[in-house]
Structure 1
Amino acid sequence: MADMQELKRQAAKAALDRVEDGMRLGIGTGSTAEAFIRLLAERVEGGLGIVGVTTSERSEALCRELGVPTATLEAVPQLDVAIDGADELDGRLRLIKGGGGALLREKIVAAASDRMLVIADASKQVETLGDFPLPIEINGFGLIATFLAIQKASRALGLDPDLTLRRVGEEPFITDSGHLILDAAYGRIEDPEALSAALHSVPGVVEHGLFLGLATEAILASADGVSILKA
């Protein structure tokens, strides 16, 4: 069976074939996105002219290290395509993202792009979202109140998630935007749209990792090759 890192590289390579000279790219975060950045850097060194807007300080640092030109979203507020990974995706290209903690910036960049191209190994495709815990980015003020409100909003939909504050060692994980993350293990999310609306109704929730209606295409790599899933 193909090595997982090689599968990520194959998906990234297929996405790079869609990149044209002069494009404004949203550049994602995570191991598959990093594989894409490394391949993109080789093309840039060979003369490809692009500008990237990264979704995290981690991806920004890698782009700078490898010589991939970047700009802020303020300087380039409209993008041609966002290329990013996913923690889960279903057959309708609904996603769970945020395992790397960059979900807020990833969603802003995806929404600012004409299209969103997902790159992943085929194991990320699922029949029903929810096995991967849903990241929920929250404000640090009122943590317990927000925790309880998320529980209440979820239970109103017949869901009872196990909510865990994400940590790095003993300390809470802090996003690049200065927020906290609750990881919500739902098990199965039968109606992602209803859950999205419920979570957005909670005042302390900044954003959540359900990406709905954003992805237009997915490139999935498996031992059998690369397949394309379209919305």
Structure 2
Amino acid sequence: MTLQRWVFLRKLTAAAAASSSPPFSLPSSLSCCTHVLGFSQSAAANMAEEAKKLAAYSAVDNNVQNNQAVGVGSGSTIVYAVDRLAQLLGELKPMLSLLPQARQLILQHGLALSDLERHPELDVAIDGADEVDAQLTLIKGGGGCLTQEKIIAGNSKCFVVIADYRKDSSVLGEQWKKGVPIEVIPMAYVPVSRVIAKRFGGEVNLRMAVSKAGPVVTDNSNFILDWKFEDVQNWSEVNTAIKMIPGVVETGLFVNMAERAYFGMEDGSVKVRKAPAN
């Protein structure tokens, strides 16, 4: 289902709900996409995917040029960014060097792989986020790749975020309820958990694997803690303080790193948020 079609269906449902007339039914050509004047989970998922695509295409079109070294992350939205980069390869012949967080995806699209040894400074990095607040502070790491993704973002001249409307928040924790991911050395996960909970409050849990026994293990052979914080914090100070705890490798707080965020919206538009001027 296209985003425009979803919006049309939503308007029809709203009109029906507000009406005092006899029970409303959609035209038969549309009824397969609804469930008793509601929308199926698949329709909502399709809308979110359309929004991701809009954000990714817009970000690539406005930030990638010829002869650039481009870093990409590994989130679900990156699929659309790589797709657009492959289209540009055919249309504009840009010389793109992409980092291997999405290695197989990149190779399938015929794009060139590189690394930070050959390109220690990237022209632009594009990645998704689990949540973005009004100051462009991010929570990342839902997929467990926060350290490598932060290295890419930190070594780029311009870091651009792409996301759908569900990731757009005024403050962190408004939409994302799973907490801040923190990568830790395995032997230190218990003392690190205790220190974070004592110093900052909230709840710290070791992330457990779903399809296998035991905890999630990162690409760096470490564990992931998920810190469910209770209150809005000074994220810059918290990020620095947590990183100073012995055994912490990296946090999923990306503070003062993103330059712009592109959000695919429910109405088919793309909202762009720029970082506040320092």
Same fold (TM > 0.5) = yes
Equivalent residue number for residue 165 of structure 1: 207
Q: Which residue of 2 aligns with 1:66?
A: 109
Q: Considering only aligned residues, what root-mean-square deviation do their CA atoms show, in Å?
A: 1.7
Counterpart mapping for 1:97-176 below 5 A: 97-130=140-173, 131-140=177-186, 142-143=187-188, 146-157=189-200, 159-169=201-211, 170-176=213-219
CA contact (8 A) 2:96 2:112 kept: yes
- Assess, with a 3 A threshold, how the Cα gap between structure 1 residues 55 and 195 changes in structure 2: closer, same or farther: farther
Distance in 1, matches of 2:167 and 2:100, equals 20
Q: CA deviation at 1:48?
A: 2.5
| Greater displacement, 165-174 / 36-45 | 165-174
Give the secondary-structure state (helix, strand or coil) at the position aligned to 1:31. coil
Q: Residue 226 of structure 1 corresponds to which residue in structure 2?
A: 270
Give the Å deviation of 1:45: 3.1
Work out whether residues 217 and 223 of structure 2, in 8 Å CA contact, stay in contact via their aligned partners in 1. yes
State the alpha-carbon separation in 2 of the partners of residues 175 and 148 from structure 1: 19
1:161-184: CA deviations, max 9, x gaps?
A: 231323143132222222221122
**Counterpart contact for 2:140–2:252, Cα < 8 Å:** yes
Of structures 1 and 2, the one scoring higher in RCO (CA 8 A, sep 6+) is: 1
- Shift in alpha-carbon separation, 1:193–1:150, aligned structure 2, 3 A: farther
Cα distance change on mapping 1:119 and 1:205 into 2, 3 Å: same
SS in 2 for 1:83: strand
1:23-82 superposed Cα distances (whole Å, 9 cap, x missing partner): 1111111110111112211222334323333262xx111101111112011110001111
Identity of aligned residues (%): 34
Q: CA contact under 8 A between 1:85 and 1:119: conserved in structure 2?
A: yes
Q: Shift in Å at residue 227 of structure 1?
A: 1.0
Q: Whose Rg is larger?
A: 2
Using the size of structure 1 for normalisation, the TM-score is 0.90
Matched, 1:214 2:257: yes
Contact 1:96 1:132 in 2 (8 A): no
- Which residue of 190, 201, 204 maps to 2:247? 204
Equivalent residue, structure 1, for 2:61:
17
Q: Is the strand fraction higher in 1 or 2?
A: 1
- For 2:203 and 2:58, the matched residues in 1 are separated by 36
Query: Structure 2 CA distance, aligned partners of 1:191 and 1:148?
Result: 23
* Structure 1 unpaired stretches of 5+: none
Q: Secondary structure at the match of 1:137?
A: strand
Taking the aligned partners of 1:200 and 1:22, their CA distance within structure 2 comes to: 35
Superposition pairs of residues 70-89 of structure 1, within 5 angstroms: 70-89=113-132
Residues 151 and 160, structure 1, Cα contact 8 Å, conserved in 2 = no
Give the equivalent residue in structure 2 for 1:34: 79
C-alpha deviations, 1:106-153, integer Å up to 9, x for none?
Answer: 10010100111100012211122133421111112x14xx33333323
Deviates more, 1:211-220 or 1:125-134: 125-134
Counterpart AA for 1:89:
V
